[in-house]
Amino acid sequence: MRVGILAYDDCFATEVFAVSDILHMANQVAREKRTTHVDPFRVSVVAVDAEPVTAAGGFGVVARRWQHDHDLLVVPGFDLSPAEDLDSRLAGRRREIDVIRKAGRRGVHVTSVCVGAFLLGEAGLLDGRRSTTSWLFASQLARRYPQSTVCAQSLVVTDGHVTTTAAFSASLDLATTIVRNHLGGAVARATARITLVSENRTSQAPYVVESMVTPATGPFATAVQRWLVDHLAEPYSLPRLAAAFHVSSRTLLRRYGDDVGAPPLDFLQDTRIAATKRLLADTDVPISDIPPRVGYRDPGTLRRMFVERVGIGLAEYRRRFRAP
């Protein structure tokens, strides 16, 4: 398999070389297992022009010119903060977007890491497909490319000949997925264990910091959300909530839905899960005492919802993320 990793100014060098290094190790494992006498992966770092690019942090990356002679194109992410103007950042990447668009039209399997998904979106490769990116930018990706179904909690999403992943370290998961798809589970497992890469990560939900995700809401929805947070531990009652704002239940749902596009119960459940995460990671509150603190009279309800939304149980979350 001929793999090209597209380097460009301000891309993350780690996302370039993590994929390259894992595939290099997979070549060695495949030879040791005698599944092949030649390297299964021929990896090269490519760019629009055959000249060094400057990665994020000022590091130079030597690349050869893209020649449309690859089976797989990997697009790393770039340095981006939520407050930056995404339009101007993407405008400076028109030549890379053109390469991605042409590769997709030629049937090349195109993959992205983190916000590299925005480059795929600009190239039109996300339309009609499921996709993902860093949880920090998932809502922005969904708004910008409404024809794509953004799976915000997924770590790696493949739809047809397009694969997108979550942030930064997901480049390791991407590389392991490439190995598994091309060489099978045995080589992928051995490569993952040699390189200390997790073999079974499927969700980025445990890593989400809800306070860093800014929902798009209007003034009415914001007031409703503040009221719900103030009454977090109390049972949810739509009539009571509506009465607090002197409107009918139907009017409250309509006005809130106009601002948010979802019912207030969704926000309340998300907020309760976020509060549970904080109690598990930042306090010594016994797990058995957490449900009533976040509004659940039945502990089983919180346990089921936490596993459904976060992907792991309460005890496992505390073990993994408990602050020292």
| CATH number of the domain enclosing 276 | 1.10.10.60
Both tokens assigned to 148: 């794509």
Same domain, 103 and 171: yes
Q: Which domain holds residue 168?
A: 2-207
pLDDT of residue 287: 94
Shared domain for 246 and 120, answered yes or no, is no
pLDDT of residue 95: 96
Backbone angles phi, psi at 302, to 5 degrees: -65, -45
pTM: 0.74
Using one digit for the tens of pLDDT, what is the confidence trace for 10-21? 999 999 999 999
Q: For 232-291, how does the pLDDT look when each residue is reduced to its tens digit (9 = 90+)?
A: 889 999 999 999 999 999 999 999 998 888 899 988 998 899 889 888 988 889 999 999
Is the domain of 156 the same as that of 225? no
- Residues 221, 178 share a domain: no
Query: Both 95 and 113 in a single domain?
Result: yes
Share of the chain above pLDDT 70, in %: 96
**Which of 157, 191, 207 is the last residue before a domain boundary?**
207
| CATH code for the domain of 126 | 3.40.50.880
Residue 29 vs residues 70, 218, 278: alpha-carbon distances, Å? 22, 54, 41
Domain count, the chain: 2
| Domain boundary residue, one of 207, 231, 246 | 207
User: Which band of pLDDT confidence, cut at 50, 70 and 90, is reported for residue 308?
Assistant: confident
Say whether both 58 and 152 belong to one domain: yes
Q: Which of 35, 42, 113 lies closest to 71 in space, CA to CA?
A: 42
Residue where a domain terminates, one of 182, 207, 232: 207
